[in-house]
Amino acid sequence: MDFYIRVFVRIFTSASTVKSSPLKFSHVYQCVGCNSFHLQNVGRINSKDKRNIPLPNFCPTVPQECSECGGKFVMGGPIWSDPIHDRDWATSILSNIRATSGLYEAYAKISAILTSVSEELPNAPLFVSLHSICATLKCTNPTMVMFHSAIRNAGYQISGSHADPLALKTDAPMSVIWDIMRCWVKLHPVKSQPENLPGSRILSQEPQLQASFSQATGGLVARKSPRFLPNPEKHWGPKMKAGRPLKILPIDKL
């Protein structure tokens, strides 16, 4: 289950749903300086005469330069930006396998993945890395609990990701994330850096919100079950494809 999957697909037919497919895709605009990213739907809805008509979206909503560090944007995608998980289904399956855990040899792995999936935010298709953000600013890392609390205290949601133990999914815009880190650096100053670095340009701006790092209600708590497990052995990964064994010729035949 680590490298190969079997997918069961159920196909529904609907002309109106097919026309709405562009609403589920987005272009990604990412800054080459600070890695801030923004999503823009490929399509939009025009409501007319009690009908929702899907249309192509307008021009990019991002400026030519990043408002945080002044860097240029590169465009990627389109990517699927609609929810990829059915949280109710994942929670149901998780309860089922916990009740019959003795039947599954890989129970620990299955439980870890489904637990992570069931906790993810459904409306955050991409994740940010707190380590990458701190590396840009060249500052010390706040704890995960403190960063989770700062996001929640600012009125947004945050979760982990099944893809990476250091990944964070949130519905907070990048401007809020950088403001939180500006407040963090005010509490934990950094060494002086060249002015042309992305981190220096970000820190030269005053935060528009005052972040609170106090423990938030419903924030990150101690976990009783693991979300990520170590590899079962060294050099774990897909092996070479099956094939005929190599023939070793005697030296006199070479």
Per-residue pLDDT at 222: 52
pLDDT at 234: 79
Other beta carbons within 10 Å of 160:
23
Query: Whole-number mean pLDDT of the chain?
Result: 83
Reply yes or no on whether the pLDDT at 94 is more than 60.
yes
Could you read off the pLDDT of 74-93 as tens digits, one per residue? 998 899 988 888 888 888 88
Is residue 18 pLDDT above 90, yes or no? no
Band (220; pLDDT cuts 50, 70, 90): low
pLDDT value of residue 219: 58
What's the pLDDT tens digit per position in 50-63? Answer: 777 778 888 777 88
| 122: Cα within 13 Å, side-chain hemisphere | 11
Q: What is the mean pLDDT of residues 110-133?
A: 87
| Domains within the chain, CATH numbers bracketed | 22-82 (no CATH), 86-119 (no CATH), 123-225 (3.30.56.70)
Instruction: Please report the pLDDT score of residue 224 as a whole number.
Output: 64
% of the chain exceeding 70 in pLDDT: 89
Q: Is the pLDDT of residue 3 over 70?
A: no
Residue 48 has pLDDT above 70, yes or no: yes
Report the pLDDT value the prediction gives residue 107, as an integer from 0 to 100: 81
Per-residue model confidence as pLDDT tens digits over 130-149: 999 999 999 999 988 899 99
pTM: 0.78
* Better pLDDT: 222 or 246: 246
